[in-house]
Amino acid sequence: MYGHNVAVRNRAIEAARAVKREALAAERAALTADQNTLAVAREALAAEHAAFQAQAAAAHYY
């Protein structure tokens, strides 16, 4: 009986570890998505800044 309980316990521990691995993988994917979103926002801000600089240069020129 003891051996059966140990086997059940070990399967439960392995199942819990699998769930934890899946949760960590999902968290990693979410962080990657956040990084990608920030990268796109940074590129958009850089483009907006370049457009603003061009507009300011044109206003100063004319």
- Gap between the Cα atoms of 38 and 43, Å rounded: 9
Q: What is the pLDDT along the chain (62 residues), one digit of tens a residue?
A: 678 899 999 999 999 999 999 999 999 999 999 999 999 999 999 999 999 999 999 998 76
Q: What is the pTM of this model?
A: 0.63
Instruction: Tell me 1's DSSP state.
Output: -
Q: Say how far residue 28 (Cα) sits from the centre of its chain.
A: 6
3-state secondary structure string across 45-56: HHHHHHHHHHHH
Give the position of tokens 């999902």.
Answer: 26
What pLDDT is recorded for position 1?
A: 66
5 to 35, 52, 58: CA distances (angstroms): 45, 70, 79
